[in-house]
Structure 1
Amino acid sequence: MINLQLKDFQQQTVDFLLEKTIEQHKQQQIIVKSPTGSGKTIILISYIENYLLNYPNTIFCWFTVGKGDLEEQSKEKMERFSPTLPTGNITDVLNQGFECGTTYFINWKTITKKGNLALKDSERKNIKQHIADAHRNNKQFIVIIDEEHLNNTAKANDIIDAINANYEIRVSATPAQNKKAVFYEIDEVDVINEGLITRAMYINKDLNAETMENIQTETTLLLKKANEIRKEIATAYLQENEDIRPLVLIQFPNLNDELIEFVEKQLADMGYTYENKLVAKWMSEENTQDKQRKSKKLGKINVGEVHSKDSVTHNNAEPVFLLFKQALATGWDCPRAKVLVKLRENMSETFEIQTLGRLRRMPNAKHYGRDILDCSYLYTFDEDYKNEVTGNHLGAEYKRVVLKDEPKGIELKKELRDKDADFGDESAVRKQLFSFIKEKYKLTDDSKENERRFENQGFKLHSYLEAHYLEGRFETLKKIQEEAAHYQGKSMQYGVNTHDHGLYLRHHIDSLKKYTGLSYEKTRQLLEIYFLKDAGEPKFKLLHLSLKNFYAFIINNVNKFKTLFMDFTSFSSKAQHNLNLGDYNQIRLEKFSIPIEEMYPIDSLAKEKKLLDRNVYHDYNFAMIAGILRSTSERLFERSCEQNSNVKYVYKNGDSGQNYLSIVYTTQFGKQRLFFPDYIVQTQDGATWLLETKGGEQANGQDKNIDKHAKVKFNALQDFCQKHGYKFGFIRDKDGELYLNNTEYVDDMSDERWQPLEHHI
Structure 2
Amino acid sequence: MKVLKYQQKAVQELVDKSIDLLSLAGQRHTLVFEAPTGAGKTIMASEMLMRLCTELTERADAPCSEVAFMWIAPNKLHEQSYFKMKTFFTETRELHPVVYDDMDHSANGYIHPGEILFVNWESINKDNALMIRDTEQSASLYDLTRRTQIEQEIPLIVIIDEEHMFAGKNAKKSEKVLQNIQPKLEIRISATPITAHPDEKVTVHRQHVIEEQMIKEGVVINPALDFSTPEMSLTQHLVSLALKKRNELAEAYKRLGVNINPLLLIQLPNDGSESMSTEDTSIKDEVTLYLDTIHGINTTNNRLAVWLSGEKVNVDGLEQNDNMTEALLFKQAIALGWDCPRAAVLLIFRKIESFTFGAQTVGRILRMPEQKFYQDDRLNKGYVYTNISQNLVKIEPEDMDYLSTIHTIRRENLCNVSLQSEYCERPAIGRKRLG
TM range (shorter): 0.7 to 0.9
1:124 to 126, 135, 138: 138
Moved more, 219-228 or 178-187: 178-187
- Cα displacement string for residues 145-174 of structure 1 (whole angstroms, at most 9, x for unaligned residues): 111011143332222223322221111111
In the other structure, the counterpart of 2:70 is 61
Q: Does 1:243 align with 2:255?
A: no
Q: Does 1:88 align with 2:85?
A: no
Q: Offset at 1:378?
A: 0.8
CA distance in 2, matches of 1:363, 1:139: 41
CA distance in 2, matches of 1:118, 1:215: 56
- Cα displacement string for residues 502-532 of structure 1 (whole angstroms, at most 9, x for unaligned residues): xxxxxxxxxxxxxxxxxxxxxxxxxxxxxxx
Q: Offset at 1:351?
A: 4.8
In the other structure, the counterpart of 1:107 is 120
Look up the equivalent residue of 1:88 and give its one-letter code: V
Q: Offset at 1:492?
A: 7.8
In the other structure, the counterpart of 1:181 is 199
CA 1:258/1:349 → structure 2, altered by over 3 Å: closer, same or farther? farther
Q: Does 1:259 align with 2:277?
A: no
Look up the equivalent residue of 1:300 and give its one-letter code: K
Q: Offset at 1:179?
A: 2.0
CA 1:10/1:274 → structure 2, altered by over 3 Å: closer, same or farther? same
Alignment check: 8 A CA contact 1:212 1:492 kept: no
CA 1:318/1:91 → structure 2, altered by over 3 Å: closer, same or farther? farther
CA 1:199/1:73 → structure 2, altered by over 3 Å: closer, same or farther? same
Q: Does 1:139 align with 2:154?
A: yes
- Cα displacement string for residues 713-747 of structure 1 (whole angstroms, at most 9, x for unaligned residues): xxxxxxxxxxxxxxxxxxxxxxxxxxxxxxxxxxx
In the other structure, the counterpart of 1:35 is 36
Q: Offset at 1:212?
A: 3.7
Q: Does 1:312 align with 2:337?
A: no
Alignment check: 8 A CA contact 2:218 2:402 kept: no
Q: Offset at 1:335?
A: 1.0
Q: Secondary structure at the match of 2:328?
A: strand
Q: Secondary structure at the match of 1:45?
A: helix
Q: Does 1:275 align with 2:300?
A: yes
Q: Secondary structure at the match of 2:383?
A: strand
CA 1:262/1:125 → structure 2, altered by over 3 Å: closer, same or farther? same
In the other structure, the counterpart of 1:478 is 400
In the other structure, the counterpart of 1:192 is 210
Alignment check: 8 A CA contact 1:232 1:372 kept: no
Q: Offset at 1:340?
A: 0.2
CA distance in 1, matches of 2:198, 2:325: 46
Alignment check: 8 A CA contact 2:72 2:161 kept: yes
CA distance in 2, matches of 1:178, 1:118: 29
CA distance in 2, matches of 1:215, 1:102: 60
Q: Offset at 1:213?
A: 6.5
Look up the equivalent residue of 2:67 and give its one-letter code: T
Please, what is the CA RMSD of the aligned residues?
2.8
2:342 to 322, 333, 336: 336
In the other structure, the counterpart of 1:409 is none
Look up the equivalent residue of 1:105 and give its one-letter code: F
CA 1:378/1:215 → structure 2, altered by over 3 Å: closer, same or farther? farther
Q: Offset at 1:218?
A: 1.9
In the other structure, the counterpart of 1:71 is 78
Q: Secondary structure at the match of 1:329?
A: coil
CA distance in 1, matches of 2:131, 2:393: 39
Look up the equivalent residue of 1:126 and give its one-letter code: S
In the other structure, the counterpart of 1:490 is 408
CA distance in 2, matches of 1:114, 1:212: 54
Q: Secondary structure at the match of 2:124?
A: helix
TM-score of the two chains, using structure 2 as the length reference? 0.79
Equivalent runs, 1:339-488 vs 2, <5 Å: 339-345=345-351, 347-353=352-358, 354-383=360-389, 384-386=392-394, 477-479=399-401
CA distance in 1, matches of 2:231, 2:31: 45
- Cα displacement string for residues 282-324 of structure 1 (whole angstroms, at most 9, x for unaligned residues): 223xxxxxxxxxxxxx332222xxxxxx232222233221111
- Cα displacement string for residues 3-44 of structure 1 (whole angstroms, at most 9, x for unaligned residues): x22310111111111111114753921112211111111110
CA distance in 2, matches of 1:213, 1:324: 27
2:173 to 149, 155, 167: 155
Equivalent runs, 1:9-24 vs 2, <5 Å: 9-23=6-20
Look up the equivalent residue of 1:378 and give its one-letter code: V
CA distance in 2, matches of 1:89, 1:334: 25
Runs (5+) with no aligned partner, structure 2: 57-64, 271-275, 412-432
TM-score of the two chains, using structure 1 as the length reference? 0.46
- Cα displacement string for residues 50-90 of structure 1 (whole angstroms, at most 9, x for unaligned residues): 01113363111111112xx3212212222223322311123
CA distance in 2, matches of 1:491, 1:113: 52
CA distance in 2, matches of 1:252, 1:109: 24
Equivalent runs, 1:346-745 vs 2, <5 Å: 347-353=352-358, 354-383=360-389, 384-386=392-394, 477-479=399-401, 489-490=407-408
CA distance in 2, matches of 1:114, 1:341: 38
Q: Offset at 1:388?
A: 8.0
In the other structure, the counterpart of 2:243 is 227
Q: Secondary structure at the match of 1:260?
A: helix
In the other structure, the counterpart of 2:111 is 98
Q: Secondary structure at the match of 1:22?
A: helix
CA distance in 2, matches of 1:366, 1:215: 41
Alignment check: 8 A CA contact 1:215 1:344 kept: no
Alignment check: 8 A CA contact 1:59 1:142 kept: yes
Runs (5+) with no aligned partner, structure 1: 285-297, 304-309, 390-475, 494-578, 580-761
CA distance in 1, matches of 2:231, 2:166: 34
CA 1:179/1:156 → structure 2, altered by over 3 Å: closer, same or farther? closer
Q: Offset at 1:386?
A: 4.7
CA 1:9/1:215 → structure 2, altered by over 3 Å: closer, same or farther? farther
Report which of the two structures shows the higher radius of gyration computed on alpha carbons. Answer: 1
Q: Secondary structure at the match of 1:44?
A: helix
Look up the equivalent residue of 1:13 and give its one-letter code: A
CA 1:480/1:51 → structure 2, altered by over 3 Å: closer, same or farther? closer
User: With CA pairs under 8 Å and 6+ residues apart, which has the higher RCO, 1 or 2?
Assistant: 2
In the other structure, the counterpart of 2:311 is 299
Alignment check: 8 A CA contact 1:30 1:181 kept: yes
